[in-house]
Amino acid sequence: MNESVTRALTTIARYTALSLLLAFFTLPLLWLAFAPFDRTPTIAASLPRFTLDNFRQLLENPQALRSLRNSALLAAGTGALVVVFSALAAYALSRVRLPGRDALLYVLLLLSSIVTGTAAMVPLFNLAFELGLIDEQLGVILVLGGGLLPSAVFILKDFMDGTPRSYEESARVFGASPLQIVRHVVVPLVRPGLATIAVWSVAQVWGNFLIPFLLLRSPEKSPAAVVMYTFYTEGGQPDLALIATFSLLYSLPVVLMFLFVSSRYGFRFHGGIKS
């Protein structure tokens, strides 16, 4: 009797705790889902008085759509850069014996968190200035790509290490050149890894505020994350209607990309090696 009461109380306590935790994470998402459709959005999540007026207003804002396009450009550019270079570097690091290879990787990994971090703001700005890359999207792509590459190389090297060498040796005996081996054999085999890297770098760039804020001057080149920062009413208050609607549009591409990639690459090839 006593025991079952204790057990019931424990269960209740556990579910209460879980519900509170769930609410903590759900409320912002509910706000994101409801506020864009609300006639008078506040910072509280509530059932909206339904309207699409906010979207119309957003589409009329010249900044909004252009900034999403800029975000896409930066993300795609950085993604392509990171995938291509990290794949080549990871393959080489995985296959060529290099003295101090592991130490090199760990040091790069350590430094990468500094490169795109706040600590390097001033040197980065100086460097970009000397190279004439201030207010150039290329500058942002290079800086972000440089910051992401070490981690990408690190992750991909693991994928490469996991693929048996005999695939490549087999292709070599048939006369394939190193680039052919990479294209025909290695890339298809590590495609899930490449997809992971691509999604991850796109998401990283999509959400990055600091670097484009630092390196881009003209509003027409700024990505969504920076432009959102400028959504104020004439009174200096944050324009909640605009911010909420824009946030929804801003998060959609990343969600869609994730769903697409996980349905497309959420599997691995297997079976060519008899174990």
Partner 1 sequence: MAAISLTGLTKVYPGDVTALDALDLEIRDGEFFALLGPSGCGKTTLLRTIAGLESATGGTVAIGEREVTALPPGRRDVAMVFQDYALFPHMTVRDNIGYPLKIRKTPAARRSAKAAEVAAELGLADYLARRPGQLSGGQQQRVALARAMACHPSVFLFDEPLSNLDARLRLEARTFLKRLQRELGVTTVFVTHDQAEALALADRIAVLEAGRIRQLGTPTEIYRRPANTFVASFIGSTPMNLLPGTVRGAWIRVGDALLPGPIGTDAAAALPDGAEVVYGIRPEYLRYTAQHAADVPGALPGRVTVIENLGSTQLLTLDPVAGGPPLQVTVPEDLPVTVGEPGYALPRPERVLIYRDGNLL
Residue ranges in contact with partner 1 by CB under 8 A: 164, 166-167, 169-177, 180, 184-185, 188-189, 191, 269-275
CA distances, 173 to each of 64, 168, 169, 273 (Å): 55, 9, 6, 17
Task: Please give the structure tokens belonging to residue 122.
Answer: 């001033």
C-beta of 167 vs 200, nearer to partner 1: 167
Q: Which residue shows structure tokens 């459709």?
A: 37
Is the Cβ of residue 158 or residue 169 nearer to partner 1 in the bound state? Answer: 169
Q: How many CB atoms lie within 10 A of CB 239?
A: 19
Nearer to partner 1, 66 or 184 (CB): 184
CB atoms within 10 A of CB 210: 16
Question: What are 115's two structure tokens?
Answer: 């490169």
Output the smallest distance, CB 187 to partner 1, in A.
Answer: 10
Q: Biggest alpha carbon distance in the chain?
A: 78
Q: Quick one: 186 or 215, whose CB is closer to partner 1?
A: 186
Query: Residue holding tokens 């693929």?
Result: 163
DSSP 8-state symbol, 38: B
Q: Is 25 or 174 the residue whose CB approaches partner 1 more closely?
A: 174
Q: What is the dihedral of CA 40, 46, 47, 51, to 10 degrees?
A: 20
For the CB of residue 183, give the shortest distance to partner 1 in the complex, in Å. Answer: 11
259 φ, ψ to 5°?
-60, -45
Nearest distance from residue 91's CB to partner 1, in Å? 16
Q: Which is nearer to partner 1, 141 or 156 (CB)?
A: 156
Q: What are the residues facing 232 on neighbouring strands?
A: 238
Nearer to partner 1, 117 or 272 (CB): 272
Task: Using alpha carbons, list the distances in angstroms from residue 262 to 187, 198, 246, 258.
Answer: 18, 12, 25, 6
- Taking the complex as a whole, the smallest distance from the CB of residue 172 to partner 1 amounts, in Å, to 5
Question: Which 3 state secondary structure label does DSSP give 194?
Answer: helix
74 with 141: CB under 8 angstroms?
A: yes
Kindly state the smallest distance separating residue 188's Cβ from partner 1, in Å. Answer: 4
Q: How far is the CB of 272 from partner 1 (least distance, A)?
A: 3
| Minimum CB–partner distance for residue 191 and partner 1 (Å) | 8
> Which of 16, 166 has the CB closer to partner 1?
166
Tokens at 271, concatenated: 């079976």
Helices 101-115 and 137-161: angle between axes, nearest 10 degrees: 150
Residue 251 CB, nearest approach to partner 1 (Å): 33
